[in-house]
Amino acid sequence: MFEITGFFLGWISVGSQFILMIQNRQADISETIIRFFSFFTILTNILVALFFTAKIDNLKGFFFNLFRSKGSLTAVTTFILIVGLVYQFILRKTWHPTGLQMIVDELLHTLIPLFMLGYWLLNVQKENLQMKSIFKWLLYPVVYLILVMTRGYFSHYYPYPFINRDQIGVEKVLVNSLFILIFTIFVFLILKFIGNYIINLKTKKL
């Protein structure tokens, strides 16, 4: 039941945001699509949707096998929590959506992160907390940053103000990026601590 809910919640939210962005585009369609997929929020919500897709269907392929691997639950949970936390504490004050955009915005940045955290709390197992498996997932934000910054250098479009090289400079971008990476590792470690605590409680009850 949780997996099916996560599946529909993820894909409907991402699909709705895509439609809204196309309807309200400020560039041509091809550029708008590229910009859509340049948001860490969108990519991470797609990861959540793919995670639940892999859970409810026995689909084959690299992506689906990846989401069945050890550490994937904790990694995906961490990244979507980063999406939620960065939005709530840094980005929320920068714009004020209304109507359907506000609803979709809350789904992507608030409801889905909380849903994923709840799912993690109910399903975390010892194999989900292996640091070696989890840290491999750190390639995701690193590769994301490299690609976004490389494209931004040529297009002068950056999806977030704290990585806008043209406005705040390279040094500030590097500092901000390093801070977010360290914070991501910190969230990993917090989840590992909580996960071990939950597992120990379950073991004692047995």
Query: Would you state the pLDDT for residue 48?
Result: 97
Query: What is residue 132's predicted lDDT score, i.e. its pLDDT?
Result: 78
Contact 87, 109 (CB under 8 A): yes
Weakest mean pLDDT among 9-23, 52-66, 162-176: 52-66
State how far the Cα of 47 lies from the Cα of 41, in Å rounded to an integer: 10
Q: What is the mean pLDDT of residues 30-59?
A: 92
d(C-alpha 201, C-alpha 7), whole Å: 29
CA distance 190 to 197: 11
The H or E element that residue 143 is part of is: helix 139-155
Question: If pLDDT is split at 50, 70 and 90, which confidence band does 59 have?
Answer: low
How would residue 131 be classed by pLDDT, with cut points 50, 70 and 90? confident
Burial-class residue 180 by CB neighbours within 10 Å (0-12, 13-18, 19+).
Answer: buried
* Predicted local distance difference test score (pLDDT) of residue 205: 66
For residue 206, what pLDDT band results from cuts at 50, 70 and 90?
Answer: low
DSSP labels, 57-97: S---SHHHHHTTSTTHHHHHHHHHHHHHHHIIIIIGGG---
pLDDT reported for residue 200: 84
Percent of the chain with pLDDT over 70: 96
pLDDT digits (tens, 9 = 90+) for 97-119: 999 999 999 999 999 999 999 99
Q: Which residue has the higher pLDDT, 55 or 143?
A: 143
pLDDT tens, residue by residue, 146-203: 999 999 999 999 999 999 999 999 999 999 999 999 999 999 999 999 988 888 887 7
